[in-house]
Structure 1
Amino acid sequence: MRAALERYFEFSRLGTNWRTEFFAGLTTFVTMAYIVLVNPAILAQAGMPLPAVTAATCLSAAFGCMLMGVIARYPIALAPGMGLNAYFTYTVVLRMHVPWQTALGAVLVSGVAFLMLTALGIRQLILRSIPKELYAAVAGGIGLFIALIGLHNAGIIVSDSTTLIALGDLRSPQTALALAGVILIGTLQVWKVRGALLFGVIGITLAAVPFHLVHWHASSYRLTDITLTAGKLDLRSALHVGLLEIVFVFFFVDLFDNLGTLVAVAKKAGLVEADNSIPRLNSILFADAAATIAGSLVGTSTVTSYVESSAGVSAGGRSGVTAIVTGLCFIAALFAAPFVGIVPTAATAPALIIVGSLMISTLSEISWTEPLSAIPAFLTLIMIPLSASIANGLGFGVIAYACVHILGGKFRRQDWLLYLLAVLFLARFVYVSAA
């Protein structure tokens, strides 16, 4: 049985083993476990019952991760997406006064649209239309984005009204511990210690105890509370013509966030073929579409691929077993959700910073002396962290790529889909700016 599983997950070809995959799955979970607490807190402001959303968050993440691991066999973890949950609560429910049940219906419609486009091969065409320069820039941009989040969470970088950002107080316990964590994880990686990220997170968590940065908030909930949101979506209202714009935003942002994350993680794991194709692409896209549908049915916002998957890849994860382990951790979190937040930001921030540094290596694949490649790649690279959105960064890159090629006399008929994407991105930016 064990040998058969190793053949199915291609351990030999990928150069991995059970121990490595287990640690990689744990590492991914630790770096994204915050979603178990953050997602319910955001959606609760939309009037959704907190215990129910907590259970829905864990279940949808577990389902998505395990489906990705078993069917697609990739080390990519899924969970309710940050950004989309904020749009769900603050824009759709609170500003537009749409009931959360109707908003969940819109999430379901967008998930079904994903599934249909996957079956028709359109999402695959979109992915293949993205130039390789933008692939590399997306991976590097996500690296900068992850590192910026880590630096901010650690207090190393803080907001500043004059310069936008500034250096924080390096003497504060949280910031000092985070810096120590960067050094600890970096040293472990220099010595090629497997699971360096996980060990670093655990080590800093233990070191944070004397500084009272580790907090236990023991509370409980009944798993049956999920019935307060499960199956409560209002599909009929979501199909109303006036709500199509909501469905479009859920669909559009998730589409390109997913594609960007997929490309970045697959590239980092060395799973992208020489011709820029990604094996089992249909299975990957099916998994995230099915996860979004499942999430809407149990009661949470759009489920998407997580850039924190890069942490598991950096820890050696290469197969679907990494994602399965992460999914099992989310199931465990269903029963231990009150304690998931025990890991302080001083411990998770160093992991994000280190992962960010590792993802920058893809930038060497870009021809920086060639404006046709450099300008779109740079805009993609810089706009992902500065706009806090993979979709925005990719949008700027695609528009710039189309413009410099067309106006520079380098128009190619085979790039018609990319030019169409540029028009769609431009329309989205105009719409968002006018909204």
Structure 2
Amino acid sequence: MYMNFFKLKENNTTVKTEVIAGITTFMTMAYILAVNPDILSATGMDKGALFTATALAAAFGTLCMAVFANYPFALAPGMGLNAFFAFSVVLGMGISWEVALTAVFIEGLIFLIMSLFNVREAIFDAIPTNLKHAVGAGIGLFIAFIGFQNANIVIKDNATKVAMFDINKMNMLFEGAQFNFNNVGITVVLTIVGVLVTGILIAKNIKGSVLWGILITYGLGLISELVGLYVPYIEGGLYSLIPNFSNGLAIPSIAPIFFKFDFSQILTPQFFTIVFAFLFVDVFDTLGTLIGVSSKAGFLNKEGKLPKVKGALLADAVATTVGAALGTSTTTTYVESASGVSEGGKTGLTAVVVAVLFTVSLLLSPIFLAIPAFATAPALIVVGFYMIGSINKIDFSEAGEGIPAFLAIAGMAFTYSISDGIVFGVVSYVIINLLTANFKKLNFMLIVVAVLFLGKFFAETIFVQFTIAVIVIATIIYYVFFKNKK
């Protein structure tokens, strides 16, 4: 029956091939089970509940992809989007994680509507190609910076803002702290080793390099604790690395974060900006991943379009909405799906295997929850390496294209905000090309987006709030009811 449903013969594949492809994809992206709870728990969310939410969101989203589109693509809470959620929105803007989850939920509903009409293509086509690549590169730099900070390789400094790791400086920054080599020092060394090990594995094309890098770093940490080289320092946030199996293989309760929405800020301009930033990154990340992996798999037709793209986007939108209800940041299609495709995966059966493995992983929560920040930091740094590669596709030879792209990348890293970097890029692009009379580069949707972003900085007045609401409603009505009929 499943052979007919997934059309294995029509796609010239077998059950064995699809299963191997599914295992390969899972191995390359299972690191999210350790990284996502680690990042989002910085907001005060329960780490155990986050682990469960991450596994369930990944399993559900991937299963949706199998059913809606019959593609071998896997989904999980997205890297970059989780960092934006935790460090830009919650910690940076002072928004509660409940409000942030609400923004993700609303973004998912909007994406769902966009998947049924052509609004997503309108926004995607409106943003210049160079800015699209800049967003990916900027997020890569942002994620790598978080990795360096989580590992304490880069620390705060009163004079230079940031500095290289120094035990004396850390003790000066935290009054009464007793950091030394046997607590924080050894973790910095282990992170550096982890980055090098992961890099070597990637260079040797080892499947699941990022996950293996995390596990090896964690294993070295365990050995260090057992021989006394690493001594937990709870006051400094450095805990024991030994898994706690006192509750057996019980699955952590999702109750602390399940359906914890707060709609009190939904009508504020700041909330709209957050929703749009989530939506912006999600749309481009999803479409970019689908196009890239589909190209590798040979799914694109002669016109370069992806058949059943509406089903794939619908799966992504539904997964984001359900993921928010479960208590995690935006769920999106993973570029790591390409690893399974390279092993011959061609149908949704590959995705089903990935979904099953994510579900089974719930029983391994004590291990994943014991993995510390210094062990997941190499994964963040390496993922940053993968993402910043899109900078090679940016045309810096023309100032009107290159400067906005540069501002977007630099803005994300230096303002510690993905959304601010996007604002820098879009607004500067419109202003530079408007004042240099390059009107052919501009379009209605891009100008609308730039105006909305500018409104972010003047959104305290009722007039600006009203104007933003009118622009948003008018734009949606135009593209849903008029543009689609042309």
TM-score by length of structure 1 reads 0.76
In structure 1, the partner of 2:267 is 244
In the other structure, the counterpart of 1:174 is 187
Letter in 1 for 2:134: A
Cα separation, partners in 2 of 1:229 and 1:178, compared to 1, 3 Å:
closer
> How far 1:275 sits from its partner (Å)?
8.8
Moved more, 312-321 or 62-71: 312-321
Matches of 1:10 and 1:389, distance apart in 2? 43
- Measure how far apart 1:262 and its partner are: 2.8
After superposition, the C-alpha distances for 1:267-298 in whole angstroms (9 at most, x for unaligned) are 76574989997765533432232123324545
Q: CA deviation at 1:122?
A: 1.0
CA shift for structure 1 position 30: 1.2
SS of alignment partner, residue 33 of structure 1: helix
Structure 1 gap ranges (5+): 95-99
Q: In 1, distance between residues paired with 2:106 and 2:455?
A: 21
1:77 matched to 2:104? The reply is no
SS of 2:196's equivalent in the other structure is helix
- Deviation of the 1:248 alpha carbon: 2.6
Distance 2:9 2:141 in 1: 34
Moved more, 220-229 or 334-343: 220-229
Q: CA RMSD in A?
A: 4.3
Tell me if structure 2 keeps the 8 A contact 1:42–1:85: yes
- 1:127 aligns with 124
Counterpart Cα distance in 1 of 2:435 and 2:357: 51
1:383 corresponds in structure 2 to 411
- Counterpart residue identity of residue 373, structure 1: E
Q: Which residues of 2 match residues 53-68 of structure 1 at below 5 A?
A: 55-68=52-65
C-alpha contact 1:77 1:326 (8 A) present in aligned 2: no
Total equivalences in the alignment: 413
1:161 match:
158
Indicate conservation of the 8 Å contact 2:194/2:375, yes or no.
yes
Partner residue in 2 for 1:97: none
Q: In the alignment, does 2:253 pair up with 1:256? A: no
Counterpart CA distance in 1 for 2:414 and 2:287 is 20
- Shift of residue 260, structure 1, vs aligned partner: 4.2
Q: Is the 8 A contact 1:150 1:352 kept in 2?
A: yes
Secondary structure of the corresponding residue to residue 341 of structure 1: helix
Q: Which amino acid aligns with 2:222?
A: V
Separation in 2, partners of 1:50, 1:279: 39
- 1:183 equivalent to 2:183? Answer no
Using the alignment, how far apart are the partners of 2:30 and 2:444 within structure 1?
40
**Structure 2: how far apart are the matches of 1:275 and 1:381?**
31
Confirm or deny: 8 A CA contact 1:65 1:324 kept in the other structure.
Answer: yes
Q: Secondary structure at the match of 2:31?
A: helix
Supply the distance in 2 between the matched residues of 1:51 and 1:178 (Cα, whole angstroms). 23
Q: Which amino acid aligns with 1:24?
A: T
Using the size of structure 2 for normalisation, the TM-score is 0.69
Aligned partners of 1:432 and 1:21: how far apart in 2?
50
In 1, the alpha carbon distance for the partners of 2:212 and 2:100 equals 40
Note the residue ranges of structure 2 that are not aligned, 5 or more in a row.
168-180, 231-240, 466-486
Provide the secondary structure at the position in 2 that maps to 1:34. Answer: helix
**Matching of residues 19-418 of structure 1 within 5 Å:** 19=20, 21-36=22-37, 39=40, 42=43, 44=45, 55-68=52-65, 70-71=67-68, 73=71, 74-78=73-77, 81-84=82-85, 87=89, 91=94, 108-169=105-166, 172-212=185-225, 214-218=241-245, 220=247, 238=263, 243-245=266-268, 248-249=272-273, 251-262=275-286, 265=289, 269=293, 271=295, 281-298=309-326, 300=327, 302-305=329-332, 309=334, 312=336, 327-412=355-440, 415-418=443-446
Q: Do the aligned residues in 2 keep the contact of 1:158 with 1:168 (CA within 8 Å)? A: yes
- Corresponding letter in the other structure for 2:408: T
SS at match of 2:459: helix
Instruction: State how far apart, in whole Å, the 2-side matches of 1:271 and 1:116 are.
Output: 26
Counterpart AA for 2:243: W
Q: Distance in 1 between matches of 2:384 and 2:102?
A: 35
Secondary structure class of the residue paired with 1:159: strand
Identity of aligned residues (%): 28
Using the alignment, how far apart are the partners of 2:154 and 2:255 within structure 1?
42
Residue 254 of structure 1 deviates from its aligned partner by 1.7
Work out the CA distance in 2 between the residues paired with 1:279 and 1:387: 39
Aligned mates of 2:255, 2:33 — CA distance in 1: 25
**Secondary structure in structure 2 of the residue aligned to 1:244:** coil
Amino acid at match of 2:199: G
Question: 2:176 maps to which residue?
Answer: none
Q: Name the stretch that deviates more: 125-134 or 50-59.
A: 50-59
